[in-house]
Amino acid sequence: MRYKVDAKESFEQSLLFWLDRFIKSKLTSLSNRHVEENAKLSSIIGSLNHGSKTMEELKELAKEARNIGLIGINLFINPLEKFYYYIVPMGLSSLKEIDEELLSEFLASQTGSLSDATKKNYRIALLGLFKFMDKQNEDEKGNSHQFRIELKNWGGLGGRKGEKLPAHMYKEELSRFFKAIDETEFKPYAQAKNRLLIKLIIFTGMRVSEALGLRVKDMVKDGEYFVFQIRGKGNKPRTAMIKCEHIEHDLHEWMEYRSSDSQLLFQSRTGKPLTQAYVSYIMDKILMSAGIRKEKNGAHMLRHTFATLLYQKNRDLILVQEALGHADLNTSRIYTHFDKERLKIAADTMDGLS
C-alpha cells in the first residue's frame, strides 16, 4: 500500500509516520536467524503498523528489536532519531521541503565529531529512508513525489587518510589480558561462559554479533581444532578455527551449565540470547582487571587485535581478508599501518648519508 508524502496533519506526525514504516521494513528485511522470540518480533511489527505516538516510543520499539537479536537496526534508528530532533524544530510545513542541501547541512552540523565509519552510517540511514519514501508515496492521482537524495558530494568524510587507526592491544598487554580472562570473577554460572565467549572472539577475530549468533551445531571438533561455521554480514558464510587447548576446558564447563532448550551456544541464565551490552560489560570488567584502557574498550577491539597480529605474523592481506570475512581487500589494508618492520625499512632510508 502507498501513502501520501504528507500522510498526517502535521510535519512532525508525517515524518514519524514514515519513520515507523521504514523501520518496520528494516525489521522484516534484516536477517532474523538470531531471533528466537518470534512472538515478540511480531508484536513489535504490530505496534509499528498502528504507529508510534512519539519518537521515544519508536526508539523503544527499535531497542526491543535489537535486544531480541536484530542488532543491525541500530545502524538506522540512531541516525534517524538525531535527524528527527534536528529537523522538527525548523517548522517545515511539508516533507517535500526536505532536499539534498538540507540533509547535507544536517550531516555537516551533527556528525563533525564522529568517526568516518559512523558518518557513513548516517548517510546510509538517510539514503535508505528517502529511497523508501520515493518508492512508497503516491497521491490521489497516482503520482509520486521523488526526493532523489544521493548525497554523493557530501564532503564530511575525510577519506582513508582521515580515519583513526583501530584500537588494539600490543603483545605485552595481551599477556595481561589473557591472565585477566581467567582470573576475573563473575557469577558461578557465567564464569565459564564469559571466558569462552571472549576467547572465541580474540582467538578467531569473529565479530561480537557472529559469536552471539553461533549455534551448537555450528561447532565441530576436528583433531586438535574446533571448527566454527560463521554467518557474517550479508549472511555470508565462512569458517573459523581455534585450537582445542585454548577453549576445551571452558567449553566443557559451560556446556554443563547451559540450557539444552536453545540452539544458541551462548545464552542467558533464563535461556535468552545475550546482548552486545552484556559483552561490553564483560570486556570492561576484564580490561579493568588487566589494567588496560583504550580509546575504544569494546569487544570489537579484540577483532582488531587479532587482525593486527595475524598480519604482522604472516604479511598476508588475503589471509586477513578471509579470516575476518571482509568483502573488500581495502578494508583489510588498514592493518598494514601497524607493520613496524616495514616502517623500520623507511626509517633506515637515510642511513650513511647524514
Q: Which residues are catalytic?
A: 207, 233, 300, 303, 326, 335
Neighbours of 37 (CB within 10 A): 15
Residue 261 C-alpha cell reads as 532448550
How far CA 78 is from CA of 75, 107, 281, 309, 312, in Å, comes to 7, 13, 21, 33, 36
SS3 230: strand
Pairing of strands 219-222, 225-231: antiparallel
C-alpha cell at 117: 565509519
Return the closest-CA partner of residue 253 out of 289, 301, 199, 300.
Answer: 199
Residue with cell 534517524: 80
Q: Are 338 and 311 in contact (CB under 8 A)?
A: yes
CA dist., res. 321 & res. 310, Å (int):
11
CA 333/CA 318 separation, integer angstroms: 10
293: phi > 0 → left, psi -120 to 50 → alpha, else beta; which?
A: beta
Q: Quote the CA–CA distance of 202 and 186 in Å, as a whole number.
A: 19
Q: What element of type H or E holds 238?
A: strand 237-243
Task: Tally Cβ neighbours within 10 Å of residue 12.
Answer: 17
